[in-house]
Amino acid sequence: MIASRTRAVVVLVCAVVAGACAADRDDAIQLGFAAPLSIPIGQSAHRGAVLAVEEINRSGGIGGRPLELDARDDQMERELAIEIATRFRDEGKVVAVIGHLNSGATIAAADIYNHPDHGLLEISPAATSPELSGVGEWTFRVCPTDLQQGRALADLAYGRLGLRRAAVIYANDEYGRGVLNAFAPAFEQHGGTVVARDPFLAAVMEDETTLDPYLEHAILAGADALVIVGVGEEVIDILRAARRLGYRGAVMGPDGLADLKDAGPIADGVYITSGFLPDRPTEAAQAFVRRFVDRFGEAPRDGAAHAYDAVMLLARAIREVGTDRRALRDYIAGVGTVHPAYEGVTGTIRFDELGDAVGKDVDIGVIRGGQIVTADRTDV
């Protein structure tokens, strides 16, 4: 799924303020951004951050100073994420980082950002693994965790859909294991049975037949729910293989399944949990979606909405305490306790002592005609 490691791609986003590019301004405030910029989930999250930067700069910046976004492609690789984090931390230009996007890269980079004498604030818009909770005082996230998404999937499968036998095919990484370890006990507590728990490594999947033995076992075991946990092309391959082998039951999974909306009619009816869906019925969410579509010609993914909120929250923090790294970190840590919670397009953001955004909603979506929309009573 991911190309072999190369030098990180650097994209310097310049927002026009009074006719000048932010990159040409010595007084620009620089935010780092790290994500897999070569694939859709990373591109959408980047666009969410860009939109926020552009809107802030059109309104005069922060205290008259423009924002500048230094975006780098970590390709979802741990080593590259560490390299990028080290540059952000040590070059001294970046006051805070939005990123990384996937759990593995975020956890790897957290060691760099949480240096005991030289920390740098990072706010992930999409890293969901429970292993990230409390990883360090400089690390935060604005998205729901795998614990929340896994429980939501279990509630959906057993309670709303009436399913009783689930098979889980999951990426053997922090993300996949996190969802499995949340879904399985919750489903079993409801009274369901997990008939198969099979890991895969995207790097060794030669084609969609690689997982045939796992899927055949799930079908023979009478699975009526197939839970897929992964990101990118491999989830499409798993779905195609399952249908080819005759599986006709329900298919569901967490936010990494967003790419399935582009897989054609085979994906219609797949359920997806998410921290944000484009049809969220709030005024703030719908206004954001309209602006995003007008700017980029496509609907935002959940990572885009969370990245937008992360930039806007950081802008509020900078207005309050300036650009000192420690002051920014301390302000963010107090959001929802010492300082007011932030009302964003993804909902209310407040942080606990582990750096998690507490109380964030998990939406249940379903794919219809190439779009992910909120599931309603007619879908269950």
Q: pLDDT tens digit string along 53-108? A: 999 999 999 999 999 999 999 999 999 999 999 999 999 999 999 999 999 999 99
Q: Are residues 139 and 209 in the same domain?
A: no
Is 80 exceeded by the pLDDT of residue 286?
A: yes
Q: Are residues 55 and 196 in the same domain?
A: no
Q: Are residues 252 and 150 in the same domain?
A: yes
In a domain, 244, yes or no: yes
pLDDT at 231: 85
In a domain, 173, yes or no: yes
Instruction: Tell me how far apart the alpha carbons of residues 352 and 334 are, in angstroms, rounded to a whole number.
Output: 8
Q: Are residues 105 and 241 in the same domain?
A: no
The CA-based dihedral angle spanning residues 111, 258, 179, 329, taken in that order and rounded to the nearest 10 degrees? 30
Q: Are residues 56 and 136 in the same domain?
A: yes
Q: Are residues 248 and 375 in the same domain?
A: yes
In a domain, 155, yes or no: yes
Please state the rounded mean pLDDT for residues 132-154.
96
Domain CATH for 119: 3.40.50.2300
In a domain, 238, yes or no: yes
361 or 15, which is more confident: 361
Phi and psi at residue 65, to the nearest 5°: -100, 135
Is 50 exceeded by the pLDDT of residue 19?
A: no
pLDDT in tens, 168-193: 999 999 899 999 999 999 999 999 99
Round to the nearest angstrom and report the end-to-end CA distance of the chain.
Answer: 32
pLDDT at 24: 47
In a domain, 76, yes or no: yes
Q: How many domains does the chain have?
A: 2
Interhelix angle 283-296/302-321, rounded to 10 degrees, is 110
pLDDT at 208: 63
Q: Are residues 139 and 288 in the same domain?
A: yes
Please state the rounded mean pLDDT for residues 118-135.
96
Q: Are residues 159 and 220 in the same domain?
A: yes
Q: Are residues 24 and 80 in the same domain?
A: yes
- The band of 211, judged by pLDDT with boundaries at 50, 70 and 90, is confident
Q: Are residues 70 and 195 in the same domain?
A: no
Expressed as residue numbers, the domain containing 41 is 10-144+281-349
